[in-house]
């Protein structure tokens, strides 16, 4: 298994496109599976279409589901930080994707994104791990 960790700064954008890094990592791997994991309690990963307004729609939907106010028992940090700790329940912290001939087998309009609404910690790490298909 080959693993790398990439560092991300999410302070400028809360939905960060990781597709290029993913494709670069898988380019010479052949057939297998790639697991993407964000080891943080307040961030997640998603596959989604980018550039069509979906990023704003996702943020709006998450803010409706997880309002940033004082209702949470988890109350340290910025206002509504408790919502950040519920995000990974809705947006998974890991994804596993097929890789065929060194290409990630995702749809034409799918991109891999880091979803990080936590303003208290914009420094993130994302682990990419490639597991090769068994040879016959």
What pTM did the predictor assign? 0.93
Residue 107, CA distances (Å) to 7, 19, 48, 51 in order = 25, 12, 10, 15
C-beta neighbour count of 95 within 10 angstroms:
17
Return the pLDDT at 104.
98
Return the pLDDT at 74.
80
* Distant-in-sequence, close-in-space partners of 22: CB < 8 Å, separation ≥ 6: 34, 36, 97, 104, 112, 128
Return the pLDDT at 80.
79
Contact (CB, 8 A) for 85 and 74? yes
Report the alpha-carbon distance of residue 90 to residue 92 in Å, rounded. Answer: 6
Return the pLDDT at 19.
98
Return the pLDDT at 14.
92
* SS3 label, residue 59: helix
Return the pLDDT at 102.
97
Low-confidence stretches of the chain (pLDDT < 70) are 136
Return the pLDDT at 79.
76
Write down all domains in the chain, each with its CATH number in brackets: 2-132 (2.60.120.460)
Return the pLDDT at 135.
82
């Amino acid at each position: 298994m080959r693993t790398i960790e990439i560092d991300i700064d999410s302070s400028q954008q809360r939905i960060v496109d990781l597709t290029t890094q993913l494709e670069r990592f898988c380019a010479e791997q052949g057939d297998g599976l790639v697991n993407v994991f964000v080891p943080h309690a307040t961030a997640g990963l998603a596959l989604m279409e980018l550039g069509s307004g979906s990023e704003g729609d996702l943020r709006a939907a998450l803010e409706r589901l997880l309002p940033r106010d004082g209702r949470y028992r988890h109350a340290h940090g910025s206002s509504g930080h408790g919502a950040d700790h519920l995000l990974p329940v809705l947006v998974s912290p890991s994804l596993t994707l097929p890789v065929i001939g060194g290409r990630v087998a995702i749809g034409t309009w799918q991109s891999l994104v880091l979803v990080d609404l936590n303003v208290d910690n914009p420094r993130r790490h994302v682990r990419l791990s490639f597991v090769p298909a068994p040879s016959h």
